[in-house]
Each structure stands twice: as structure tokens, then as C-alpha cells.
Amino acid sequence: VLPGLPTDLTRLERLARKRLSPGAHGYVAGSAGTGATARANREAFDRWRIVPRMLRDVTVRDLSVEVLGASLPAPVLLGPVGVLSIVHPDGELAVARAASALNVPMVLSSAASYTIEEVAEAGGEGPRWFQLYWPKDPEIAASFLGRAKAAGYTALVVTLDTPMLGWRPHDLDQAYLPFLRGIGVANYFSDPAFLKGIGGSVGADRSTALLHWAAIFGNPAVTWDDLGFLREHWDGPIVLKGIQHTDDARRAVDAGIDGVIVSNHGGRQVDGAVGALDMLPEVVAAVGERTTVLFDSGIRSGADVVKALALGARAVLVGRPYAYGLGLAGEAGVRHVLRCLMAELDLTMALSGITRPADLTPEFLRGP
């Protein structure tokens, strides 16, 4: 861990509020509307409590898990967070280096501040997944997938909950939208299919390109019938992110999808939504035997990881905590966050009588 940075990630969050610019902090910390969903995410964790077991020989522990055919050192991934250069100039490059150093998969956002290829180079041999915001132009979507494949991203995460950005008062009130400043569009502005739509190049006045970006970024028209497009253009594992209802989870599995991420985007899309963890047990009961269920939205500690795993998630993704680590200390800050989370997970498991993630069952929790 890094001296000077809090090892409690909720305190790290408070430090980031002091150190980051108000605009950047508002963008990262902010959520939709009144913030009710982000609060619900945390309240859901608070309702579940771990019931530790004793005298079970916890000398040797192994945190590794298999996810979609790959072995992860721990059941933790860095979730897709776009526009990271708003908190640190090295943005996703620093995240890729930190992830690679610990062999933790990084999920690169479509809306990153560096390109698919630049981030792959920074990450070297480290595991990487690509997250797609399904754009209106199918040529751009296909081009993104081709680029990600060529650059060594092994799994595809398709985010379903963001056909458009949610109502985010923090950003509206501060008139702070990174995209309008040209941040988070690197993949688009470097893409041949995107450039074709604006006559070949971005040009000195980026306003035409930015308007085109705004026009194609989201695709509110996609339905379950369109999933075939993904398979046509991606031959590796496909994971759908933003699943909350059991019927959607079933539909995803019936369509041949390899995994789902139970997530509400950290409360940034629908205000007044159910806490993500509240839906996890139902989704696991519905599809857990047939597919890989991952989880994000509200993870702030190793104990939170234990709870999500005990409720059936194979692994979890974190969002804001590593963005704060990046903002406070660059690559070292991201490593700090990952190390804290993994060390606390290891200790919480040991002190609860668990030596392997696979042994975590609902029996270790008491809840609502």
C-alpha cells in the first residue's frame, strides 16, 4: 500500500473530494438524480452481515478464481470507467500499468481518454477486456470490436444501461461534461468508420466531430433481437453489463451470452432504482448454474467482496474507488486500491473461516 493514502477506501473517497477539481470530482462521485440509487447500493451491503466461522485451518488461502476461461489472481476486476484523464493526465494508461502489474483484468471503456491500442500497449502482457457502448452506427461498432480483438482484448463487455447518459445534476449544475471538452472520445476520433462519417478527419475545429459523436454515441433502438450482431463480430466471451431483472438475465443466457454483470452503473443511470446487491440473489437463482454472474455497484471493501461472492457472484468489478486512487496518486494509487481490496478480502475470508472464494455461500451471511 502507498504511505499517505488511506487504506479504508471510504476515507480515500473523502480525500479525493478535497484533492480533485470540483468538476472532476462531481463527475466521478456523482450519480443520477437525487442519488437514491447510489445510496441504495450501499444500504443493500449494510443489510447483509458476515457470520464468521471458527477452527477451520485457514493457514493456506487461495484467492484465485476462473472467470470465462481465464484464471484471475482474485475475484476482482477494474470495471470500465471512461474519461479518466479528467482525474489524472495518464488516465487509462496508468490504470493499465497498475492492472498489469497485479495481473488483474482491466475492462477498457469505449469512452476512454486513450485509444484501444494505446491502452493495450501500456498494459503489455496484462489481461484486458473491452467494454462496448453500442453506437448507432453499426460500422463503428464492428470497427471497435475488430480493433479490440487485434489489440489483444479477450472478453467483450456490452453495457446495456446507457443508451443515453442519465440525469446527473452534479454535472448539469457545474456545466461539466468531459465529452464536450473532447475528453473520452479518443476511440471515436481515431476510428476509420467514425472518421468516414465526418469526411475523413476531425479537423482543427472539433465541433463537427463532437456533434457527430453526440449523434452516434448511444443506440436507444437496440433490442434483444440485435444480439446476433455481437456474435457476428466477436468470437470471444460476451458479457452483458447492467442486468438487474431475472427475466433479462434468462433472456441473455437463452441468447447464448457467456456472462452477465448485475449492475446499475453505480447508481449513475436510473434514480430511485433498486440497490444492485438486492437483485443479485434472484439473478443467481435464475441463471447462476448456466452462466457466469459478475457484480458491481457499491463495492468499497474486502468485506463487500465477501458479501457479493457469498450471494453468488463469481467476481466483482470496482469503479469509483480506483478512479480516486488514480486521481490521488496515478498508477501507484490504482495499485494501492487493488492491494487494499485484495488484502482486506484475504483477511476477511481467513477470519471468517474461508480459504477459497468457491467456499463462500449464503450460509456465511445473515440478511434481510
Based on CB atoms, which residue is closest to ligand FNR, 222 or 351?
A: 222
Q: Which residue is nearest to ligand FNR (CB)?
A: 319
| Residue 81 makes contact with ligand FNR by CB under 6 A | yes
Contact indicator for 166, 91 with CB cutoff of 8 Å:
no
| Residue 352 makes contact with ligand FNR by CB under 6 A | no
- Interactions with ligand FNR, residue window 128-157 (CB under 6 A): 131
| Residue 296 makes contact with ligand FNR by CB under 6 A | yes
Contact indicator for 158, 241 with CB cutoff of 8 Å:
yes
Q: How many CB atoms lie within 10 A of CB 331?
A: 21
**Least CB distance to ligand FNR at residue 204 (A):** 27
| Residue 105 makes contact with ligand FNR by CB under 6 A | no
Q: Which of 26, 75, 82, 127 binds ligand FNR (CB under 6 A)?
A: 82
| Residue 109 makes contact with ligand FNR by CB under 6 A | yes
Name the grid cell of 281. Answer: 440473489
| Residue 178 makes contact with ligand FNR by CB under 6 A | no
Length of the chain: 368
Determine the interface stretch with ligand FNR among 91-99, 225-233, 245-253, 296-304 (rule: CB under 6 A): 296-304
| Residue 241 makes contact with ligand FNR by CB under 6 A | yes
**Least CB distance to ligand FNR at residue 363 (A):** 26
Contact indicator for 210, 139 with CB cutoff of 8 Å:
no
**Least CB distance to ligand FNR at residue 317 (A):** 6
Based on CB atoms, which residue is closest to ligand FNR, 40 or 81?
A: 81
**Least CB distance to ligand FNR at residue 125 (A):** 24
Say how many residues touch ligand FNR, by CB under 6 A.
23
How far apart are the C-alpha atoms of 120 and 113, rounded to whole Å?
13
CA torsion sign, 17 to 346 to 131 to 297?
A: negative
| Residue 79 makes contact with ligand FNR by CB under 6 A | yes
**Least CB distance to ligand FNR at residue 46 (A):** 14
Contact indicator for 218, 237 with CB cutoff of 8 Å:
no
Q: Which of 266, 281, 312, 325 binds ligand FNR (CB under 6 A)?
A: 266
**Enzyme catalytic residues:** 265
**Least CB distance to ligand FNR at residue 232 (A):** 21
Which residues make up the interface to ligand FNR (CB under 6 A)? 27-28, 79-82, 109, 111, 131, 159, 241, 263, 265-266, 268, 296-299, 318-320, 323
